[in-house]
Structure 1
């Protein structure tokens, strides 16, 4: 481990090195010096730390935090990141924000304190521009490399405790430049529009200046040669419980159970929550007791329909070290569990979603990376990470419960990775025969809410004000050509009423479900 202390512009001290001196790199930027150090020490963890935080650097934790090589960690003790909340007008993913209390996946890196392995810097040194502004370089590197498999986190354990320190913040010129270089060009126009609509600002010069910078989206970064083998022990007993909500899919569920029975590593218990809202109905799953199964089956029958409720009932019954959240219409190979644990062990994380595609569907993602959502029918989660997590009933019969559950995990410091292998086949079976269309609370509203109140609920719970406003702007343009009101002023007035009803009902869902 090599530590570089800096003053935001230059490295002023290098610790734990013998063959490299600061004087040798005098006049070079922080990034250029780190590259030189990486070339001299190609198998080391490189740590940077602002001189004001030297006494707070948590050196004893660093080697444990860097449990494999494909990591980029940093931490900003300030509540305001380098690129402030305004970036939410462009980036509506959770990666644009930071929960600074826990380890949290983000591309918002900081020069305050952080680290990266030499092999990563050497892999990108001919691909990523060495910006003199160290914060800009770090954010750019993370934004470009996250989709390629670099795992990027805000990590509070890098410091012993939070301390006040003055760090650079991006100007309006820098913000527009970042958007131009890391998003499609149309987003620069959208940023200008959103700033005008919601903040009554019109930064014309920063907008114009951004067009003097080249876009970096097509930068080719290849990190596949960096072998990932985590030193963390996330698997002990390798025991797993499976939860499956089902309704009217008797034959599909049977096939899934047969796949489980052929596993080289068998599950301990499969918890099936069968729903049939028809009064007086009984279970149709006779094979659960008529046949012998090589695992315990816990069968819960309920007249209450709804996947959120069903999964919560099952989660409360889990006891094994790991939980596999499955669907009743998936198929997989006999070595699925065995290979799944191999991949989890390599990555050293406690929540993963596996590739789950339709037959003939081409896989778009072939590398392990930080997942933007969560798959409630294709995910493994460690039991200890599920404490106090549940599927929010406010999303029942709507959309957003998967993403919300993923955010609950992330806000506890449990990141979710996407694993392309082993694969799951999703049959996407037709709806079962016992389903009735639910009567939604807003169904008879004269002004129908837009977006769906469950989508708005997710927006209110997990997005910043800037992100919600950006979503509002894009939704306005998206549906303008699809509706009958062609007068833009009348359409806006109607759209605003729909938006307000959506906010109203989303808040009602929060109250009713105590979210």
Structure 2
């Protein structure tokens, strides 16, 4: 991995893995275009030349570099102090201290660790990076793909949310791209087929008796007629150019996946997601991809039914196959966060915050995914990083004092937390033994 300390801070991030072809996502700096290098900042404070190069490569990815140049297929170890320099530069000091504690608890030399941590204390976290890498040809780009106007199949599973579904269907009526169908898989208790007659849309409406989110999406994909699949949800709002911006992104970057950006109602797109970049996550609430991709990687894994992170697992399969996915801020959508219906009626909607006091923590499907693709060691590091901050509600996750209090509370209720984690671990073991439930297209 790029810097070894990333295994503590991002133990289950796509970019920790090499693709099946043996490539990482990180470009070799000496092969970056000159116009890209000008927007990066080489850092001579690192002791080793490798660390200097890796830092530039990290910057390129973080600032939105999307290219076809050579990437690293292996990384050399860098000095301990360079590892501390790196995490101090890009992560909050609380997380730097967390890494120090983990290193000390795992019997690394305390004198060397504390010395390296202390000697890098003057390295400040970068609050605002330079402007993201720009793609100046985007505005003037005329997409031949859009001119051809292929059929797009918009997939929306729904459950007891007709009021919210009305809004997104009205948004789809306003799309400035004409050639699309809408496939709604309706699992509502009181199915209302007449509801769909009020909309001027090319519908396929499928009534599904079983409440199963991933089955719904798989069914829709298999019945779709389009060359492209656009994945959406029943509690989002989209702009009139949503379909067109996804198609243009696929065409402009010669990509197979356009991963749209979510942001909560009343807020703006997060700064870190406000520019084009290599996709580091995949969300089934806002994405477009070639239908043929499902022939390559399979459909969604039904091991995640009524649980969490099925879209993350699917994204990992895309990444491992070397399928190009672009984080696309211009095909954003507003997450309304409906308080009723949907996954909340089928199971927990939060990965690390169980709905009941003695329920598994995290949701077993999360550990199934972590252990399957990253191994048990990385899964345990993810637990160590995420469990303490999961004591408090999701909306407090960026409140630093509450995060610290969460750590203290985790220690106080450690027996209960251990029971929750062990239960989740055992249930994930059963999933791993059973294996993936992935159908082919």
TM range (shorter): 0.7 to 0.9
Give 1:315's aligned residue.
221
Q: As a proportion of its length, which structure holds more strand?
A: 1
Distance in 1 separating the partners of 2:345 and 2:159:
11
Give 1:270's aligned residue.
182
Distance in 1 separating the partners of 2:211 and 2:242:
30
Match of 1:456 among 367, 379, 383: 367
Q: In the alignment, is the contact (CA less than 8 A) between 2:263 and 2:334 conserved in 1?
A: yes
1:495 aligns with 2:417: yes
1:122 aligns with 2:38: yes
Give 1:410's aligned residue.
319
Match of 1:147 among 62, 65, 90: 62
Distance in 1 separating the partners of 2:305 and 2:6:
31
Q: In the alignment, is the contact (CA less than 8 A) between 1:89 and 1:469 conserved in 2?
A: no
Give 1:101's aligned residue.
20
Match of 2:429 among 507, 510, 514: 507
After superposition, the C-alpha distances for 1:289-320 in whole angstroms (9 at most, x for unaligned) are x468453x222111100211111111222332
Q: Which has the larger radius of gyration?
A: 1
Q: In the alignment, is the contact (CA less than 8 A) between 2:186 and 2:208 conserved in 1?
A: yes
Q: How does 1:141-220 map to 2 (within 5 A)?
A: 141-151=56-66, 168-198=76-106, 200-213=107-120, 214-215=123-124, 217-218=126-127, 220=129
Cα distance change of structure 1 residues 415 and 94 upon mapping to structure 2, 3 Å threshold: farther
Cα distance change of structure 1 residues 511 and 273 upon mapping to structure 2, 3 Å threshold: farther
After superposition, the C-alpha distances for 1:34-93 in whole angstroms (9 at most, x for unaligned) are xxxxxxxxxxxxxxxxxxxxxxxxxxxxxxxxxxxxxxxxxxxxxxx4544x53122235
Cα distance change of structure 1 residues 497 and 234 upon mapping to structure 2, 3 Å threshold: farther
Distance in 2 separating the partners of 1:383 and 1:95:
22
Distance in 2 separating the partners of 1:445 and 1:265:
45
Give 2:338's aligned residue.
429
Distance in 1 separating the partners of 2:125 and 2:15:
18
After superposition, the C-alpha distances for 1:122-146 in whole angstroms (9 at most, x for unaligned) are 222xx33245744212321233343
1:91 aligns with 2:10: yes
Cα distance change of structure 1 residues 184 and 233 upon mapping to structure 2, 3 Å threshold: farther
**CA apart distance, 1:256:** 3.0
Distance in 2 separating the partners of 1:485 and 1:178:
30
Match of 2:300 among 365, 368, 391: 391
Q: How does 1:295-306 map to 2 (within 5 A)?
A: 295=202, 297-306=203-212
**CA apart distance, 1:358:** 3.7
**CA apart distance, 1:324:** 0.3
1:372 aligns with 2:294: no
Cα distance change of structure 1 residues 462 and 506 upon mapping to structure 2, 3 Å threshold: same
Give 2:351's aligned residue.
none
TM norm structure 1: 0.68
Cα distance change of structure 1 residues 354 and 226 upon mapping to structure 2, 3 Å threshold: closer
Give 1:326's aligned residue.
232
Give 1:64's aligned residue.
none
After superposition, the C-alpha distances for 1:239-282 in whole angstroms (9 at most, x for unaligned) are 31111101222343344334323323224322111114x5xx6x
Give 2:381's aligned residue.
470
Cα distance change of structure 1 residues 498 and 221 upon mapping to structure 2, 3 Å threshold: same
Q: In the alignment, is the contact (CA less than 8 A) between 1:354 and 1:424 conserved in 2?
A: yes
The count of corresponding residues between Structure 1 and Structure 2 is 411
